[in-house]
Amino acid sequence: MSVAINQLDRGDEWFDFVTPGYDSNGNPNFLDDTGQLIEGIYTDIENAVYHALDAQSSTGIKTFAKGRHHYFRQYLSDVCRARTKQQTYTFDAGTYGHMRVLEPHNFHGNFIRNPILEDFADLNPLETIDQLKAALAERGEAVSGSRAALIERLHAKDPNVPIFEKLREGVIVEFLKQHYPTFIYTNDELNSVADLYGIVTTLPRDKKIEKLLEVSPDQLIYEKLVEQHVIDHIVWDDAKRVEKSTRAHPKANWLLSDGYPELTVIAKCKVTGMMLKVRFDWLRFDAIAVDLKTTLSTNPTKFAYQVRDLRYDLQQVFYTYVANLAGIPVEHFCFVATEYKDADNCETFELSQKKQSESKEEMFDLLIDLKEALDTQNWYGHTKSRATWVIEV
């Protein structure tokens, strides 16, 4: 792709050089035989793969802008302060809202809204412990035990009794069967598979699952699939409103059309020689770049503070620079901001030419400084000389 600009001069369009991230055999088109990055414009590179690419990103540049020590801690040190609890699938409404707006084909059919009691109102389902005990007593069954035990006892006695947990479970199971017909769901199924691996079947279900995943991490189990594909109803509804508000805004809806979602661009910096990468939320065929932000407020003044604090200005000029290196004539960059928590609204924003010029100059200074830091491994804090600060309190 490093020759794309010259080719574009002959009348080619930049999108003629867009390449699938993987070939027909599943091999990455963005890596050569030695595992080195190949400059280009790529579709369908997974988010986790993109973040693992050995190239500098706008997030890295924004981190470096805080100070060399921040960059070192984030990207080069062996310090890990991430929580040990699995958080992979606990996405928020902003994440799912992005998916619904930018990649609806990857959202619909892959996720289901977690059913709530109101969804079965016409069946008058049993939900409270008192209701469960009353139904058991009517059938001459014991009313002692935990909530889970009461549910299982009542369901075993009369499978036709509408119990909320069982109704909810049934909806989820039907959804999963459409996509994962071989998943383990019932206790009998789990016992059968556990026995194949020599796992004691008298263990509690959660312990059997834990041991099974130790010997077969890719095993498809109901609880695991629920974590990955069932979205809390509040998060689901918030994400749906993000999509609705964004698409209801005429300019935003126009911006997020006629283009590519989640487009990855890899190029070599002409100033430093470092490999750079960006991942556009949306890039229109006319080379207008769009970044979708879910935000607490679309008030212009408050969003301007967010741009300043989160350095969206550096993001914009970095994305534009990398795109231009790859032969994409990006000149216009627009932020589509959507709020959903306290109100539902969408606004579009652009940075002033003055701010763009200032940020572009800062970006090049940061790239040069970052290259020097990587070469010298000098990761000082707020002063290169290490002099003592004289402060007045």
Residue 378's SS3 state is coil
Q: Is the Cβ–Cβ distance between 14 and 328 less than 8 Å?
A: yes
Residue 27: how many other CB atoms lie within 10 Å:
8
- As a residue count, the chain comes to 393
Query: What's the token pair of residue 248?
Result: 């209801």
DSSP assigned state of 115: P
* pLDDT number for residue 3: 39
Least confident of 34-48, 88-102, 325-339, 353-367: 88-102
Nearest Cα to 98, choosing from 255, 227, 232, 262?
A: 262
- Global pTM? 0.86
Residues 167, 161: Cα–Cα separation, whole Å: 10
* 4-79+237-376 maps to CATH 3.40.50.2020: no
Q: Return all residues near 24 (Cβ < 8 A) that are at least 6 apart.
A: none
Res. 386 pLDDT band, cuts 50 70 90: confident
- DSSP H helices, the chain, are 4-8, 47-52, 58-66, 68-71, 93-102, 104-107, 129-138, 147-157, 164-179, 187-196, 205-215, 222-229, 233-248, 250-255, 300-310, 312-325, 353-376
Per DSSP, what are the bridge partners of residue 370?
none
Res. 240 pLDDT band, cuts 50 70 90: very high
* pLDDT number for residue 222: 95
Res. 1 pLDDT band, cuts 50 70 90: very low
Domain with CATH 3.90.320.10 in the chain: 4-79+237-376
Residues 150, 134: Cα–Cα separation, whole Å: 11
Residue type at position 133: K
- How far out from the chain centre does Cα 199 lie? 35
Nearest Cα to 136, choosing from 150, 126, 148?
A: 150
